[in-house]
Amino acid sequence: MNQADFVWMNGELVAFEDAKVHVLTHALHYGTGVFEGVRAYETPDGNPAIFRHSDHLDRLFQSARLYYMDIPFSKEELRAATHETITRNGLKSCYIRPLVFRGAGPMGLFPLDCPVEVSIAVWEWGSYLGDEGKQNGVRAKVSSWRRIGDDALIPAAKATGQYLNSVLAKIEADKAGYEEAILLDTHGYVCEGTGENLFIVKDGKIATPTYLSGVLGGINRAAAIQISRDLGFELQERQVARDELYLADEIFMTGTAAELTPVREVDDRPVGAGEPGEITRSVQRVFEDALHGRAERYADWNDVVPVPAPTP
């Protein structure tokens, strides 16, 4: 991880080394935080642009609301703070991590008397599942851990404590020699990866698990759905059975960190021909163009960060 110079904390930029919290921070003890993973990409005119920024800010505020947190900044203020954090760190493309968390205050499970704090960190970060994985596909394993159900937590919220679920699945997959885990929902239907939504392709048709399976409402999922349909593919949001993973012609995953990554093997069975298929490739091409501000059709997905002119 390439360290940036500044982190935005509660309204101001502080030096990386000073971006600290107290050990009694409520969120450290009980996972009472919500966050986003966002990316900015260098566009053809040289400016960075944040991919679907307003959707990420909407989801951040939605997650906060689901956990009774009032964010002490407006969306517009956080948008401007993100722009400033990117430009002051001199970055053209980066990963962006806004975090809203319960700070130090009264201990115990009742959190509402603890302050709500906000930070935005940025850093240069390659694709989560690797460039090689993006190119040739990754090997995945169906996890023994099920995705959290909505009778225990809130799958639609991107809350820090909830990620222990993904952490367990990720470690299990890694120790077994796979790049990624696929979690089933509480009923045994396919849900998603540890940090990605999942799509299968069979006989030219695309399907992706629905909210009924407890997926996180992925912003890249929405982008991939729209791109697939715009390319003329039939795409269904529906429950996906486990055996469909083994019989799929193609599988791919989407997420801010992983971008669009094909899956070439599930549980030691090759997906289709064991390499990314044609439909995956065609969606991936347009998706990459959209991320980098090269797709005119999706230009309004890019929140351009104005880079100040150099001082003479």
Ligand X SMILES: Cc1ncc(COP(=O)(O)O)c(C=O)c1O
Active site residues: 158
Q: Which of 196, 259, 265, 303 binds ligand X (CB under 6 A)?
A: 196
Residue with tokens 């939504």: 197
Q: Which of 98, 111, 137, 195 binds ligand X (CB under 6 A)?
A: 195
Of 139 and 147, the one with the shorter C-beta distance to ligand X is 147
Q: Which of 43, 82, 208, 220 binds ligand X (CB under 6 A)?
A: 220
Query: Coil, strand, or helix at residue 27?
Result: helix
Please provide the DSSP assignment of 275-312 as one string.
S--HHHHHHHHHHHHHHTT--GGGGGGEEE-PPPPPP-
* CB of 143 vs ligand X, minimal distance in Å: 12
Nearest by Cα to 304 from 96, 46, 71: 46
Q: Contact 33/100 with Cβ under 8 angstroms?
A: yes
Instruction: Choose between 114 and 215: whose C-beta lies nearer to ligand X.
Output: 215
Is 192 an interacting residue with respect to ligand X (CB under 6 A)? yes
- Does 214 engage in binding with ligand X (CB under 6 A)? no
Measured CA angle at 253 (ends 31, 186), to 5 deg: 55
Side chain identity at residue 182, one-letter code = I
Q: Is 302 in the site for ligand X (CB under 6 A)?
A: no
| CA angle in degrees (0–180, nearest 5) for 242-253-247 | 35
- Residue 166 found at the interface with ligand X (CB under 6 A): yes
What is the token pair recorded at 4? Answer: 């940036």
What contacts 157, CB < 8 A, 6 or more positions away? 34, 62, 63, 66, 67
- Span 86-115, contacts to ligand X by CB under 6 A: none
- Identity of the amino acid at 165: N
The nearest distance, CB 183 to ligand X, in angstroms, is: 8
Contact call for residue 180 and ligand X (CB under 6 A) = no
Q: Does 256 bind ligand X (CB under 6 A)?
A: yes
Q: For CA atoms 120, 121, 122, 128, give the dihedral sign.
A: negative
User: What is the pairing mode between strands 94-102 and 235-237?
Assistant: unpaired
Minimum distance, C-beta of residue 254 to ligand X, in the bound complex (Å): 6
Q: CA-to-CA distance for 216 and 261, rounded, in angstroms?
A: 17
121-135 in b/e burial notation, b at 16+ Cβ within 10 A?
bbbebebbbeeebbe
235 binds ligand X (CB under 6 A): no
173 contributes a contact to ligand X by CB under 6 A = no
By the rule CB under 6 A, 209 interacts with ligand X = no
- Is residue 221 close enough to count as binding ligand X by CB under 6 A? yes
- State yes or no: residue 43 binds ligand X (CB under 6 A): no
Which of 78, 121, 219, 305 is close enough to bind ligand X by CB under 6 A?
219
Nearer to ligand X, 14 or 168 (CB): 168
CB of 46 to ligand X, least distance (A): 25
Residue 134 binds to ligand X (criterion: CB under 6 A) = no
Query: Would you say 27 or 169 has its CB closer to ligand X?
Result: 169
Q: How many residues does the chain have?
A: 312
Chain residues in the site for ligand X (CB under 6 A) = 37, 166, 192, 195-197, 216, 218-221, 254-256
